[in-house]
Chains A and B, each alone.
Chain A
Amino acid sequence: MWWIGIGHAGTLISAILLLLNQGWRNAINRFAEAMTLFAVACAGQFPILHMGRPWLGYWLIPYPNTMALWPQFRSPLDWDVFAVSTYATISVVFWYVGLIPDLASLRDKAHKRYQQVIFGALSLGWRGSAMHWMRYEKASLVLAGLSTPLVVSVHTVVSFDFAISIIPGWHTTIFPPYFVAGAIYSGFAMVLALMIPVRRFYGLEDLITLQHMNNMAKVMLATGLIVAYGYTSEVFFAWYSANNFERFMMHNRQFGPYAPFYWCLIFCNIITPQFLWIAKVRMHMGILFVISLIVNVGMWLERFVIVITSLHRDFVPSSWGYYSPTRWDWAVYIGTIGLFMTLIFLFVRVLPMITIFEMRMLVPSGRVKEPVR
């Protein structure tokens, strides 16, 4: 869930900002999209790894079979399968389509045979003709139009996993909007957390400017406030519902054995981002980096709090327990972080992390020397 949330930012940056014709997105969208893909890949591991019999995971997919058995379409888990797989597909296509002109440039600049072959195959015969550009623009627009609702729908569906169940603390209608906001929030935090060191390390200050950082920080602040609103309304409705189970759950969340996690979460996700009101903070890379890391931790804590505090003391007191992650739980989590970082570094190494052709459009000197075809 955390990974999926992170995944959101990428698509959001590319798609919505493309639709809104926000020029500043260009410098960061490639990187953000790649991050999206990798985060979704990581997220995809979890449901499978947590199944009792992962080799039978394909049973969740509706496919014709001799036993005439279908998955259970009432289950939110099955909706997840559709939502996430659609999202992943669209993201891959969007990302790949965006890469094609650059792959063609790489092909043209390649000196070694194998590079020429590989980039040649991947660029799908892109010659940069006007027709190509026209189709490209259209396709991008269509894909952006497709992905925008997906950004919202995926996390809405993910939140249904909780909202559909009857567990106190899960069974709330606020979850879909609050999850989407939370996802964007954590997504931007992750982009910042990755971008700031990369920008510094590769000396990309001129391409990814402070203005980019400023804008992203603003988005983070806005979504952070939505998330804060979500927390508040959760507390309010737990009280207002007059439901014993909900009230107990909230009380237990705030003062029970996991209370430190909850207050830590409040600190990370509500208090910390308030510094972003200050323009100087938004422009100071060191502080921004720290804040984005804290927000990432906070979002992880949020998931932990939602999942664990609700489950560990639910309806029947005799079955209450105390969960602490086993070393395998940690291993899986750290493993996916490793996978994510590996993929990110491979991406940075092998593919252009900043869109070449769009930068050409942006950089004035480039316009003069080599007009856009």
Chain B
Amino acid sequence: MSEQPSEQRPNLDLGAIRARLDRAQGREYWRCLEELAETDGFQEMLHREFPRQAAEWEDADGRRNFLKLMGASLALAGLGACTRQPTEFVMPYATAPEQLIPGKPQFYATAVTLSGVATGVLMESHMGRPTKVEGNPQHPASLGSTDAITQASVLTMYDPDRSQSIIYLGEIRSFGSFLSMIKGALKDQVAKNGSGIRILTETVTSPSLGAQIGDVLKLFPSAKWHQYEPLGRGNARDGGKLAFGQYVNTVYKFDQADVVLSLDSDFLTGGTMPVRYARDFMSKRRVRGSEASMSRLYAIETTPTATGGKADHRQPVKPSQMAATVRQVAAAVGAGEAGGPATGTTTRFLSALIADLNAHKGSSIVIAGDDQTPEVHALAHAMNSALGNVGKTVFYTDPIEAQPVDQLASLKELLADLDAGQVDILMVMGGNPVYNAPPDLDVAGKIVKAKMRVRLGLYADETSDLCQWQLPETHSLEAWGDARAYDGTVTIMQPLIAPIYPASKSMSELLGVFTDSPEPTSYDLVRAYWQKQHAGTDFESWWRHAVHDGVVKDSALPVKTLAAKAPSASSAANGGDLEVSFHADSFLYDGRFANNGWLMELPRPVTKLTWDNAALVSPATAHRLGLQNSDYVELKSGGHTVWAAVWILPGQPDDSVALQLGYGRNKAGRVGNGAGFNSFLLRTSNQLSFGPVSLRKLGKQFPLASTQQHYLIDDGKSELEEREQKKRGILRGSTVAEYLKNPEFAQEVVETPGKGLTIYPETFKYEGYAWGMVIDLTACTGCGTCTAACQAENNISVVGKEQVLVTREMHWIRVDRYFSGDMQNPSTHFQPVPCMQCENAPCELVCPVAATAHDEDGINNMVYNRCVGTRYCSNNCPYKVRRFNFMRFADLDTESLKMVRNPDVTVRTRGVMEKCTYCIQRISQAKITSEKQDRRVHDGEIVTACEAACPTQAITFGDINDPNSRVAKLKQEKLNYGMLADLNTRPRTTYLAELRNPNPELQAETKG
């Protein structure tokens, strides 16, 4: 590409040309004098098929290479712009920081936030590079686990597409020039009491930041602070206000609840819900031995979620019917009046549900989802009050937000001020309203009416485009800060690394510009705030403890006693023949993670889609409208039009289309640009949850990359899959009642050959350790956190949509999803599948170069540098867990991405096979430590990445030879079975059969 068309034309030898023409016999044509002179340049041009620059595009992988090149050059451009040394240290520390042992990771407590809600984490740091997120066992929202989004946060930090320098109208500027400009503007505002200043942020739960904004507002009393976020806890906040007349924060104790009703709430895997909820909920559903009591989960849903999939009973309802249905239940449990008879719901389901709720007063929970309207939230509060759950399973506290507001109203007020020309300085800190605000508000058109627009953002995105100043924001792992968890617990967040792009500023540092001079660092600000709050004398020791633990002791908000009143029925729901409902994407959330490859390629729990969102419709609706998977359709709603691809999803309510938000961005970065379609365009301010829609087939196809239905869907496909999977005993399950009657049911599906059936001697005796794993299918919520954690730990590549379409995704642990029962309302089952580490591994036998070899602990090891890539092992693997590097998937060029890799794990190159290793690097480390101390490895000393991250502790790893280990005990359970063990593979990874707890009254129609 660098080749310039600077060829020098040689001087033409006219004499020679004349001589040649004289020699010519007959007629001879020439194209130019150069041809006659036979210059090298012309000869070369003749032999070149394409002109110079065009030749670079010859290879078929042109686009891929171009992207790679662009990536590399962009990243290098970023590094080149800094004047300092590369961030990696090539010299040993002359004076090493205390406790730093080269090659040993260190762990620091901090927090990762989503919509302001914090999850406490421990960051693994290798020589100053954070590489992997682990949960913080002391943090109430985490208890040692995380979710997928948290796992992937480290990749966002290293994203080469992040905003890297201060930009003013397309030109790079210094912070100094920004300062002089803003200080000048602020001087003018002093006289006006700051009436021209507007600050727009996302939800703020940080106490210090809240106080700091308060200080700014004190200094400029007429300035205004607005908050806007499209998703998050907004509906819950407004619902609380509706029920109680004041903003509250709700904390649920699922480990106390026997009956749970979820109203479209994905509390097991969704958005801002703490990981803690999934863990608490599953702690009530664990069946061991003869202890078989289980809570029961009902779900009423407008689109299938993982939580609905785990529910014992699930009822799909059309979005517009939701409120009426909920009202019906509420009335029956003594909260408010019914809003008329609901149509389209199974009354049998409702009556059983109502009876069950009434039978469990004080030990039930009704929880509404973030995507539901405030009305439904208020009804849920009223039901909890009526059922006497408040104070037992449901607790109220003051809101965790620094200043809770109705965010849509807040945004509208700002836009009105913008329209009126009252805004001189607009600071947009975080968020991306131009992309994600309701389209009818016309944020893009109004935001430019502010005279001076300053934007602080992690990315130069759609909003940055309309601001004069773009300031790069620090990632939360790069700066000091604090945030509250779901129950109010404060974490003081410490940075793990100096900002990768030194121009980055944190929000508090930028706000410091308003009040202080010289500008304080975020460390000073956070520390000063807490010093002020701290009453005792020993602040230093308190501070050290708080930072070290990642939790500020006793900072959870105190419980309040409140009584809820049922809201009056809202005006008629704006339903229609066909309705659209909007949902946060499981992993991209509101689109802020659109440039995170790990999240983009993580299969969505229920749809198993990657790289795109889709218009989800039910099989019956698809049949009615003549739709097939991947059909391209035009959706019209709220006066806006969007083109989307259809995905048929069993369990989706009929006559409704569910859309995930967060896709279709064009300024996200290389990963997120152009993935999916932008459903925010249909989400106008009067239909934030749902609305009527019209659908028209475009007669085109748009390929969707799902990891599980890699082929054309035929009508009986799902049933076939289900029937075959059952016959083969791949996923075994039953109900608690059946289990108590016949605990051996899981053993009776297929016959497993015993040991000693062969005439050959056993090659391996496994006298030392015998590593094994048990996965509890009852506890698995299908959230995909294990896959994300594995990807982070084991340097697993992202392959891109085209490769997923041809089944080349690389995840070492996948979560399989099966449906069972009625296509309109099936139950959903999840099964995580890592390598089974078979004792009789079919893969080992067929490798011609012995690149996959057994070891004396029973692990089936991959020797990458011996692998020649015949792929025979993968063919012969009955579990299909082996992954092949068809191309050089690992990005070895982008500088910043080199830093995210785990130094203990090889980065695989093209042409080699790879698969789950049971985190062999962690096993080896523990074995070395134990050998040094002359002891065996303790149970629980080795925790695989998936096990550590799993929110519900569904995965247990350990030594089977140690009879007291957790894994050995679980393997003794009656529910324990090996997938396809009838092939005599003797898998080391086994499963505990899935149990459900259906209501006997409804059992007849549950085929579980």
- Chain A interface (Cβ < 8 Å from any Cβ of B): 47, 50-54, 56-57, 59-60, 69-72, 74-78, 81, 161, 164-167, 244-245, 248, 257, 311-312, 314-322, 326
B721 touches A321 (CB 8 A): no
A114 nearest CB across to chain B (Å): 31
* Residues of B with C-beta under 8 A to A59: 849, 866, 868
5 extra interface residue pairs, beta carbon distance < 8 Å, beyond A317-B818, A319-B816: A50-B871, A51-B911, A57-B868, A60-B848, A319-B879
| Contacts across chains A and B counted by CB atoms under 8 Å | 133
* Residues of A with C-beta under 8 A to B806: 326
A52 touches B871 (CB 8 A): yes
State which of B817, B876, B878, B885 has its C-beta within 8 Å of the C-beta of A316.
B878
A315 touches B728 (CB 8 A): yes
* Residues of A with C-beta under 8 A to B831: 318
The docked-state distance in angstroms from the alpha carbon of A47 to that of B806 is 21
A75 touches B845 (CB 8 A): yes
B483 nearest CB across to chain A (Å): 38
B879 touches A315 (CB 8 A): yes
* Residues of A with C-beta under 8 A to B807: 321
The answer to whether B230 has its CB under 8 Å from any CB of chain A is no
Interface locus among B9-17, B87-95, B503-511, B708-716: B708-716
A322 touches B879 (CB 8 A): no
B831 nearest CB across to chain A (Å): 8
The docked-state distance in angstroms from the alpha carbon of A279 to that of B729 is 55
State which of B845, B850, B911, B980 has its C-beta within 8 Å of the C-beta of A164.
B845
Contacts known (A318-B816, A320-B721, A321-B807); A53 close to B848, Cβ less than 8 A:
no
18 cross-chain CB contacts under 8 A: A50-B870, A50-B871, A52-B870, A53-B910, A54-B868, A60-B848, A71-B849, A72-B847, A77-B847, A165-B846, A166-B876, A248-B724, A257-B712, A316-B730, A317-B728, A317-B818, A322-B711, A326-B806
* Residues of B with C-beta under 8 A to A319: 816, 879-880
Smallest Cβ-Cβ distance to B728: which chain A residue: A244
The answer to whether B727 has its CB under 8 Å from any CB of chain A is yes
Contact residues, B815-839 vs A (CB, 8 A):
816-818, 831, 833
The docked-state distance in angstroms from the alpha carbon of A29 to that of B983 is 47
The answer to whether B57 has its CB under 8 Å from any CB of chain A is no
Question: Could you say which of A51, A53, A57 has the most chain B C-beta atoms within 10 Å of its C-beta?
Answer: A53
Contact residues, B836-891 vs A (CB, 8 A):
842, 845-850, 866-872, 875-876, 878-880, 884-886
* Residues of A with C-beta under 8 A to B777: none
B878 touches A315 (CB 8 A): yes
* Residues of A with C-beta under 8 A to B886: 52
* Residues of B with C-beta under 8 A to A321: 710-711, 807
Contacts known (A52-B912, A165-B876); A71 close to B850, Cβ less than 8 A:
yes
Contacts known (A74-B845, A77-B848, A326-B806); A51 close to B876, Cβ less than 8 A:
no
Smallest Cβ-Cβ distance to A327: which chain B residue: B60
A313 nearest CB across to chain B (Å): 8
* Residues of A with C-beta under 8 A to B911: 51-53
* Residues of B with C-beta under 8 A to A244: 727-728
- Chain B interface (Cβ < 8 Å from any Cβ of A): 708, 710-712, 714, 720-722, 724-725, 727-728, 730, 806-807, 814, 816-818, 831, 833, 842, 845-850, 866-872, 875-876, 878-880, 884-886, 910-913, 979-980, 983
Smallest Cβ-Cβ distance to B913: which chain A residue: A52
- Pick the 10 closest A-B CB pairs, nearest first: A52-B869, A52-B911, A322-B711, A318-B816, A319-B880, A53-B911, A77-B848, A72-B850, A321-B710, A315-B878
* Residues of B with C-beta under 8 A to A77: 846-848, 870, 872
* Residues of A with C-beta under 8 A to B846: 74-77, 164-165
A41 nearest CB across to chain B (Å): 20
B711 touches A320 (CB 8 A): yes
State which of A54, A78, A167, A245 has its C-beta within 8 Å of the C-beta of B876.
A167
The docked-state distance in angstroms from the alpha carbon of A71 to that of B846 is 11
* Residues of B with C-beta under 8 A to A326: 806
* Residues of B with C-beta under 8 A to A248: 724, 727
B34 nearest CB across to chain A (Å): 37
* Residues of B with C-beta under 8 A to A167: 875-876, 878
Interface residues of B: mostly helix, strand, loop or mixed? loop
The docked-state distance in angstroms from the alpha carbon of A167 to that of B879 is 11
Smallest Cβ-Cβ distance to A256: which chain B residue: B720
A275 nearest CB across to chain B (Å): 36
B866 touches A69 (CB 8 A): yes
Smallest Cβ-Cβ distance to B979: which chain A residue: A316
A286 nearest CB across to chain B (Å): 39
B870 touches A316 (CB 8 A): no
The docked-state distance in angstroms from the alpha carbon of A81 to that of B848 is 10
A158 nearest CB across to chain B (Å): 13
State which of A51, A74, A166, A320 has its C-beta within 8 Å of the C-beta of B870.
A51
A348 nearest CB across to chain B (Å): 33
B951 nearest CB across to chain A (Å): 22
B867 touches A53 (CB 8 A): yes
B848 touches A314 (CB 8 A): no
* Residues of A with C-beta under 8 A to B872: 75, 77, 161, 165
A59 nearest CB across to chain B (Å): 5
The docked-state distance in angstroms from the alpha carbon of A317 to that of B724 is 7
B817 touches A318 (CB 8 A): yes
The docked-state distance in angstroms from the alpha carbon of A47 to that of B849 is 14
* Residues of B with C-beta under 8 A to A75: 845-848, 872
Question: Could you say which of B850, B872, B913 has the most chain A C-beta atoms within 10 Å of its C-beta?
Answer: B850
* Residues of B with C-beta under 8 A to A57: 868
A253 nearest CB across to chain B (Å): 14
* Residues of B with C-beta under 8 A to A314: 878, 880
Contacts known (A248-B724, A257-B712, A316-B880); A51 close to B847, Cβ less than 8 A:
no
The docked-state distance in angstroms from the alpha carbon of A143 to that of B660 is 70
Contacts known (A47-B870, A52-B867, A76-B846); A320 close to B817, Cβ less than 8 A:
no
A310 nearest CB across to chain B (Å): 9
A133 nearest CB across to chain B (Å): 44
The docked-state distance in angstroms from the alpha carbon of A77 to that of B850 is 11
* Residues of A with C-beta under 8 A to B912: 52-53
B375 nearest CB across to chain A (Å): 39
Question: Could you say which of B806, B846, B867, B868 has the most chain A C-beta atoms within 10 Å of its C-beta?
Answer: B868
A320 nearest CB across to chain B (Å): 7
* Residues of A with C-beta under 8 A to B979: 316
State which of A53, A245, A311, A317 has its C-beta within 8 Å of the C-beta of B868.
A53
Contacts known (A311-B875, A316-B879); A52 close to B849, Cβ less than 8 A:
no
* Residues of A with C-beta under 8 A to B817: 318
Contacts known (A59-B868, A164-B845); A320 close to B710, Cβ less than 8 A:
yes
The docked-state distance in angstroms from the alpha carbon of A165 to that of B708 is 24
A256 nearest CB across to chain B (Å): 9
Question: Could you say which of B711, B817, B885 has the most chain A C-beta atoms within 10 Å of its C-beta?
Answer: B711
* Residues of A with C-beta under 8 A to B845: 74-75, 164
* Residues of B with C-beta under 8 A to A51: 868-870, 911
The docked-state distance in angstroms from the alpha carbon of A313 to that of B76 is 45
State which of B730, B848, B867, B871 has its C-beta within 8 Å of the C-beta of A317.
B730
* Residues of A with C-beta under 8 A to B913: 52
The docked-state distance in angstroms from the alpha carbon of A318 to that of B710 is 10
Smallest Cβ-Cβ distance to B984: which chain A residue: A166
Contacts known (A51-B869, A60-B868); A166 close to B730, Cβ less than 8 A:
no
* Residues of A with C-beta under 8 A to B869: 51-53
The docked-state distance in angstroms from the alpha carbon of A164 to that of B980 is 18
The docked-state distance in angstroms from the alpha carbon of A167 to that of B876 is 6
State which of B711, B842, B848 has its C-beta within 8 Å of the C-beta of A78.
B848
The docked-state distance in angstroms from the alpha carbon of A86 to that of B721 is 45
B764 nearest CB across to chain A (Å): 15
* Residues of A with C-beta under 8 A to B711: 257, 312, 320-322
A318 touches B847 (CB 8 A): no
* Residues of A with C-beta under 8 A to B910: 52-53
B848 touches A316 (CB 8 A): no
State which of B725, B818, B842, B848 has its C-beta within 8 Å of the C-beta of A166.
B842
The docked-state distance in angstroms from the alpha carbon of A318 to that of B960 is 28
